[in-house]
Amino acid sequence: MESSRLEALPPEMKYAILFTIPDLASLNALVHASPVFHTLYLSRRKQLLSTVLNRCLQLPVMVEAIAALIALRGLEERLKTTGLLDFYNFSTHISRYAPI
């Protein structure tokens, strides 16, 4: 199968195209239509998503999204800590009955 003219462009031009895509739907369409663009997308996924989201979302929505992400990460850390404490309590309880 012959590659398209778009896929034949140098990587720098393809990155420029990816970084100027106006919205998530367009980015999604391009990276799912082209294995070449999908590979480039994966190599700079965080930067691309950040750029497109920054372009699409208004400031109040962005602030809410970041606050929600920070809260979820804090919850995840608390759950990890609680899980370790639960394991410690379990192993302490078991060691009373069976030496480790």
Give the chain's length.
100
C-alpha R_g of the chain: 23
Pull the structure tokens for residue 13. 């031009």
What is the per-residue pLDDT for 89? 57
What is the per-residue pLDDT for 47? 94
Mean pLDDT, each 10-residue run in order, the chain (100 residues): 80 96 95 96 95 86 84 75 58 50
| 33 CB neighbour count, 10 Å cutoff | 12
CB 52 within 8 A of CB 27: yes
Pull the structure tokens for residue 67. 């606050």
* pTM, rounded to two decimals: 0.59
